[in-house]
């Protein structure tokens, strides 16, 4: 155990962060769990405050969580070493490298920027939020939460880089966690840069927007098994490139929740649920509540929620949002995430075993049972739905709830258009509706 301790520093108390359920509960898809010296270690590549991709490793002990930053990619010049030698990297530091099975096994990086790494990881895990106090408040407010959450303390919402988070959740359409993880791994390997190899795992940076906006990307992603999502990724990357790149997403962060959501809905493949995931997990909107059929089942079963609709309609989406918000307040998205994790089979039955080899096997099984296309009956946009939206008189939106209702109707239409991107091209109407909504809301607010 002494060797594993080398280079690790204190991050936080274990009671304040559950690594397993936070990292593998469907928020991020790039963390890898492996074993090193008989201890579990969690590793990933993250883009830090300075815009550099670094490999970070975490260990959860009984009392404390430790971290360290691993040595980044050894230069191509080191690939020829066949015996243990000292090499000098560009930063002037000497490191030992040894070639094993055509790759470099890397050592931990000397802690030359420990404070910056610590501050970055504290921000990534939002350790400034007192999750234990929130648990107490939520448990007092809601009996179901108190019953379900006892074994799920320490689950946090991550504050991820918005570019990675956005494209990851564009891949989540009609998908599961294991398959999303494998897709993101393929995309990073195809379009990202090699960062380094640690504990027999190769790590790559997440692709830059411009790399996903090249004309060949859609066809290449289809060849990698992305299906209709290939078009979503390519079109969204193109849109971002034409609208300020990363700044488009960072500017959204400055907007109020509903306005921010409308802006995100301009991206191809982003519907109400995906938009809420991005808002919650990378744009600081703690009130955002991603709602899908799974969440609908939870509220129907545990909260006796009843809706007139037999499907997850725009009205039902809004009703569930309002129900959660009234119970849990401005951090309702965090509370919903805990209830969601508590209902995941993988956390009910056993700890997640996320290795890439197992994910590849899972994808084979998934392909046997899931057709990689949106079912046509779920994709058709009904004429009456379009007419219903077009007949709304924006000048009549005098009250906040009228604006919210319009927002949800707008989101539903955009979501339907996006889900059937192969057949319909309603994105010009999508922009028209979004602009009308923002103009109306501006008049209302002023």
Distance of CA 257 to the CA centre of its chain: 18
Secondary structure letter of residue 24 according to DSSP: S
**Residue 185 contacts residue 363 (beta carbons within 8 Å):** no
Angle subtended by helix axes 162-170 and 229-242, to nearest 10 = 150
Q: Is the alpha carbon torsion for 221, 224, 227, 233 positive or negative?
A: negative
**Strand-pair partners of 285:** none
Q: With beta carbons less than 8 A apart as the criterion, state whether 273 and 292 touch.
A: yes
- Cβ neighbours, 10 Å, residue 388: 14
Nearest to 276 by CA among 303, 240, 300, 312: 312
Q: Name the DSSP class of 53.
A: E
Closest CA to 273 of 175, 182, 163: 175
Interatomic CA distance for residues 66 and 43, integer angstroms: 12
Going from the C-alpha of 35 to that of each of 71, 140, 200, 207, the distances in angstroms are 18, 39, 10, 27
Under 8 Å between Cβ of 3 and 39:
no
Sign of CA dihedral 252, 254, 255, 260: positive
What is the distance between the alpha carbons of residues 84 and 98, in angstroms, rounded to a whole number?
5
- Given a contact cutoff of 8 angstroms between Cβ atoms, the answer to whether 186 and 282 are in contact is no
Collapsed DSSP state (helix, strand, coil) of residue 378: helix
Q: At 95, phi and psi to the nearest 5?
A: -135, 155
If you search the block for the tokens 């969440």, which residue do you land on?
295
Q: Report the sign of the C-alpha dihedral through residues 398, 404, 407, 412, in that order.
A: negative
Q: Could you tell me how far CA 325 lies from the centroid of its own chain?
A: 21
Distance separating alpha carbons of residues 313 and 173, to the nearest angstrom: 17
Which residue of the set 54, 197, 261, 273 is catalytic? 273
Q: Is 373 a catalytic residue?
A: no
The answer to whether 65 and 58 are in contact (CB under 8 A) is yes
| β-strands 64-69, 53-60 pairing | antiparallel
Cβ atoms of 261 and 291 closer than 8 Å: no
Active site residues: 273
């Amino acid at each position: 155990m002494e060797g594993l301790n080398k280079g690790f520093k204190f991050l936080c108390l274990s009671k304040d962060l559950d690594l397993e359920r936070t990292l593998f509960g469907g928020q991020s898809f790039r963390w890898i769990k492996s074993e090193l010296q008989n201890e579990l270690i969690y590793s990933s590549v993250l883009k830090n405050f300075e815009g550099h991709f670094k490999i970070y490793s975490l260990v959860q002990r009984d009392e404390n969580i430790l971290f360290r930053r691993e040595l980044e990619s050894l230069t191509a010049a080191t690939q020829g070493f066949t015996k243990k030698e000292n090499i000098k990297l560009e930063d002037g530091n000497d490191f030992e490298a040894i070639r094993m099975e055509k790759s470099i096994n890397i050592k931990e990086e000397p802690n030359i920027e420990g404070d910056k790494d610590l501050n970055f990881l504290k921000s990534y895990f939002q350790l400034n939020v007192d999750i234990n106090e929130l648990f107490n408040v939520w448990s007092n407010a809601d009996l179901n939460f108190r019953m379900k959450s006892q074994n799920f303390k320490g689950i946090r919402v991550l504050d991820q880089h918005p570019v990675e988070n956005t494209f990851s959740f564009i891949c989540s359409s009609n998908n599961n966690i294991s398959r999303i993880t494998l897709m993101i791994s393929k995309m990073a390997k195809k379009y990202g840069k090699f960062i380094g190899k640690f504990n027999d795992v190769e790590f790559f940076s997440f692709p830059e927007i411009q790399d996903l906006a090249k004309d060949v990307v859609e066809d290449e992603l289809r060849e990698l098994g992305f299906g209709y999502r290939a078009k979503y990724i390519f079109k969204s990357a193109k849109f971002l490139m034409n609208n300020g790149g990363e700044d488009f997403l960072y500017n959204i962060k400055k907007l109020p929740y509903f306005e921010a959501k409308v802006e995100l809905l301009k991206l191809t493949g982003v519907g109400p649920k995906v938009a809420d995931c991005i808002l919650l997990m990378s744009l600081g909107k703690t009130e955002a509540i991603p709602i899908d059929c799974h969440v609908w089942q939870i509220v129907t079963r545990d909260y006796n929620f009843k809706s007139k609709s037999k499907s997850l309609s725009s009205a039902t989406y809004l009703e569930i949002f309002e129900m959660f918000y009234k119970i849990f307040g401005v951090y309702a998205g965090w509370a919903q995430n805990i209830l969601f994790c508590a209902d995941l089979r993988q956390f009910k039955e056993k700890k997640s075993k996320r290795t890439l080899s197992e994910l590849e096997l899972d994808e084979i099984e998934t392909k046997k049972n899931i057709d990689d296309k949106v079912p046509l009956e779920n994709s058709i946009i009904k004429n009456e739905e379009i007419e219903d939206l077009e007949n709304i008189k924006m000048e009549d939106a005098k009250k906040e709830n009228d604006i919210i209702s319009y927002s949800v109707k707008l989101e539903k239409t955009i979501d339907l258009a996006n889900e059937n991107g192969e057949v319909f091209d309603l994105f010009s109407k999508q922009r028209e509706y979004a602009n009308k909504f923002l103009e109306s809301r501006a008049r209302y607010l002023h």
